[in-house]
């Protein structure tokens, strides 16, 4: 009898451990994005969506109420876009990865256009200086869209 109880306790503990270890993995999948190269005909729509999300994408809070997107430069045939934005006092640039979320449990739709900032830039003499991250699209051809 003691052996059966011990086996049952080990099985329950094992199942509990498996459940708890998989929970962070599921959360990582929910927060991750799958890279998505944006079609040229969708640039204006996606640039407008980036404009709506810029306050969440920017690592720096604006000094005014909100950031304003000035330009979005989509990297041809790559899942990246440079975003130049300002708040009338400061101007910054970020490199975002464009993608989609394959699973959104709190929404009815299965794919959502998503963006993730992977590099930040500060204004410098004659251009931009990389401040954080890695410029994965350096030197690649871009198409500039001005959503405003």
105-124 pLDDT, tens digit per residue, is 555 444 558 899 999 999 99
**Percent helix, strand and coil across the chain, each rounded to 5?**
30, 35, 30
Per-residue pLDDT band at 148 (split at 50, 70, 90): low
> CA-to-CA distance for 134 and 73, rounded, in angstroms?
17
Per the prediction, the chain carries an average pLDDT of 81
Q: CA-based angle 132:124:119, to the nearest 5?
A: 20
pLDDT in tens, 22-31: 434 333 444 5
> CA-to-CA distance for 49 and 146, rounded, in angstroms?
12
pLDDT given for residue 105 in this prediction = 58
pLDDT given for residue 30 in this prediction = 45
CB 89 within 8 A of CB 64: yes
């Amino acid at each position: 009898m003691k052996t059966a109880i011990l086996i049952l306790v080990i099985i329950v503990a094992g199942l509990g451990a498996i459940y708890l270890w998989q929970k962070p993995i599921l959360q990582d999948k929910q927060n991750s994005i799958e890279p998505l190269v944006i079609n040229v005909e969708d640039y204006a729509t996606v640039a407008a969506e980036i404009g709506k999300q810029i306050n969440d994408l920017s690592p720096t809070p604006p000094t005014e109420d909100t950031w304003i997107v000035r330009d979005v430069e989509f990297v041809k045939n790559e899942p990246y876009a440079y975003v130049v934005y300002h708040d009338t006092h400061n101007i910054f640039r970020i490199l975002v990865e464009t993608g989609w979320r394959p699973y959104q449990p709190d929404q009815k739709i299965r794919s959502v256009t998503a963006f993730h900032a992977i590099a930040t830039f500060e204004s410098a003499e004659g251009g931009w200086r990389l401040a954080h991250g890695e410029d994965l699209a350096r030197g690649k051809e871009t198409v500039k869209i001005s959503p405003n």
